[in-house]
Amino acid sequence: MGARITTRPASSDRIGVAASRLPGLVHRTTLATMGRPLTVPGREAALEHAAAIVLRAWREFDRARESESDVGPELSRLLQASLPEQGVDAIVGLDHAAGILDASIAQSRPRYFAYIGSSALEIGALADLLAHSYDINLALDSKAATRLEEQTVRWLGQFVGFPAGGGHFTSGGQLSNTTALAAARERALPGSRARGMGGVRARIYVSAEAHYSNVRAAEMLGIGADNVVSIPLDAHRRMKVDALAAAIDEDVASGYVPVAVVASGGTTLTGAVDPLGDIASMAHARGVWVHVDGAYGLPAAGTESRRHLFTGLDQVDSVSIDAHKWLSVPKACSAVLLRDPTALALTFGHHEAYMPHEDDVRPNTVDTTLEYSRPVRSLKLWLAFHVHGAIGFRESLEANLGHAELAYRLASGRDAFAVLPHPPSLSIVPLRHVHPGCPDVDAHNDALYRAMQDDGRVYISPGTIDGGTWLRPCFTNFRTTDADVVALLDVAEEIGARICPMH
Ligand SMILES: Cc1ncc(COP(=O)(O)O)c(C=O)c1O
């Protein structure tokens, strides 16, 4: 089998020779590519070259670089070129690709603290190369790869402490949340996937600082953004359970159907974890589905130091986890896990003429997923767990939690910074630079994060908290060190002091 898909020397290429005898089918290039114009010529050398590029990048990512590299004139010319009719040599092409990536903002670098970064775990990148080379389609029952996805779902549930009866991997938190909410909608309103929402007024409940993907899911599911009820926060920026109960009871009395509560397992703005156990008991007493959006924070449920924040996780109906965030594997790799996976088949099972379906002995996974064609995204997490063990992940997560504590402690101890009144729950540490010469602290911090991005030594993004502008570093990178955390504060202080007289 293997020999049939291996490029042979031109003289032994049976397809090439056969094709060359056919009038009008003689290819312009070498016999080696005869009949296979998209096989990489000299692919062994190309693979070695790609490996060398990857190794160089990994070595470079081990340490921070002093500035971001620019898109110079040569790269600009390349990026403005029109569609080439003739290709270049693969080695030259690979060098061009590497040059483009090198002049891009890479989340893999240890001083990337913006948004919620992934960090392209090395074994995960290798797994992607393997997975993409085999290019298996998980829309179908793909034998071992399908079993691997099922096993990885179980491992992930075990890691965070959620009794996953089933689930699958998706392209991201957006799709995982949408999948869970689609299942919740079908449970609250059986048949709504077929009939539509009609005049039914349905509702979803989220904390005031929940991720927007849940609102977008409500829009796509016909529930409507206006029917996403934003529940106020307590002093630690967590959803208030009494306000949630009151909102559900009032809605039911007014004829609304509560579809789901989305509890945050780490908000994107500050890392707050909603009280999952209290929410689950209250919502379940009212027959309402509880989904945990743990796209960012849920891996922390697997750590010794933060497990307590997720008490009650074992009671909820579904969870989302982005392995491409705090489990460090390359994008795109999220998972939606359900306590009772039958909800997925009820939501997504379907029939059409061109593939066997759920009544088959081995149902195709497309009957339980929103996506159709799907790569084996789980391979990168499976291989990462296989190679590093759960213990490796716990250590890396604890290290990031330590970075957050260090940042909070250092910022609290310096006059130049203000921090939130409570230490970080997870690994996001909002802070702002305060300078006596800058009375408008919001305008100053807005200018500061931009100046820091231009400077390029650290990469940071802002956040709006209670109407004010904050710097919002997030520590999710397995390459980050304590020295990188110190550098973040030093650079912010240095640039903050420097730009102050400018506005
Ligand atoms: C809490 C939360 N949910 C959902 C998402 C969306 O995830 P993705 O970008 O993987 O679609 C994010 C992204 O930052 C998030 O932080």
- CA gap 478, 493 in Å, rounded: 25
- CA gap 111, 413 in Å, rounded: 21
| Residue 173 Cβ contacting ligand 1 at under 6 Å | yes
Grade residue 358 by pLDDT with cuts at 50, 70 and 90: low
The burial class, CB within 10 Å (0-12 / 13-18 / 19+), for 176 is buried
Kindly give, in sequence order, each residue whose CB lies less than 8 Å from that of residue 165, ignoring residues fewer than 6 positions away. Answer: 338, 339, 340, 341
Domains of the chain are 1-39 (no CATH), 137-385 (3.40.640.10)
Mutate to test the pocket of ligand 1, among 296, 319, 333, 426 (most ligand atoms within 8 A of CB): 296
- Give me the helix-helix angle, 441-455 and 482-499, nearest 10°: 120
Distance between Cα 34 and ligand 1 center (Å):
46
- Which residue, among 201, 275, 282, has the nearest Cα to 249 in the 3D structure? 282
The residue nearest atom 16 of ligand 1, judged by CA position, is 268
- CA gap 119, 491 in Å, rounded: 22
Distance between Cα 171 and ligand 1 center (Å):
11
Instruction: Locate the ligand 1 atom nearest the alpha carbon of residue 115 and give its number.
Output: 14
| Residue 118 Cβ contacting ligand 1 at under 6 Å | no
Q: Which residues pair with 258 in a beta bridge?
A: 203
Which residue in this structure is represented by tokens 């110190």?
A: 486
| Residue 463 Cβ contacting ligand 1 at under 6 Å | no
Instruction: Locate the ligand 1 atom nearest the alpha carbon of residue 322 and give its number.
Output: 10
Rounded to an integer, the average pLDDT of 442-462 is: 96
Question: Quick one: which H or E segment has residue 26?
Answer: none
Structure tokens that stand for 38 in this block: 């998209």
| Residue 322 Cβ contacting ligand 1 at under 6 Å | yes
| Residue 334 Cβ contacting ligand 1 at under 6 Å | yes
| Residue 295 Cβ contacting ligand 1 at under 6 Å | yes
Distance between Cα 173 and ligand 1 center (Å):
5
Q: Which residues pair with 169 in a beta bridge?
A: 335
pLDDT in tens, 119-130: 999 999 999 999
Q: What is the DSSP code (8-state) at residue 241?
A: H
CA 324 to mean position of chain CA atoms: 4
DSSP 243-294: HHHHHHHHHHHTT-EEEEEEEEBS-TTT--B--HHHHHHHHHHTT-EEEEE-
- Whether the full predicted model's pTM is greater than 0.85, yes or no, is yes
What are φ and ψ of residue 99, in 5° steps?
A: -60, -40
- Which residue, among 436, 421, 113, 463, has the nearest Cα to 268 in the 3D structure? 463
pLDDT in tens, 221-280: 999 999 999 999 999 999 999 999 999 999 999 999 999 999 999 999 999 999 999 999
Rounded to an integer, the average pLDDT of 8-29 is: 34
Pairing of strands 289-293, 334-338: unpaired
Q: Which of 105-109, 236-240, 302-306 is predicted least confidently?
A: 105-109
- CA gap 61, 112 in Å, rounded: 11
Distance between Cα 217 and ligand 1 center (Å):
12
- Which pLDDT belongs to residue 4? 33
Which residue in this structure is represented by tokens 């997504």?
A: 348
Q: Which of 11-25, 227-241, 285-299, 375-389 is predicted least confidently?
A: 11-25
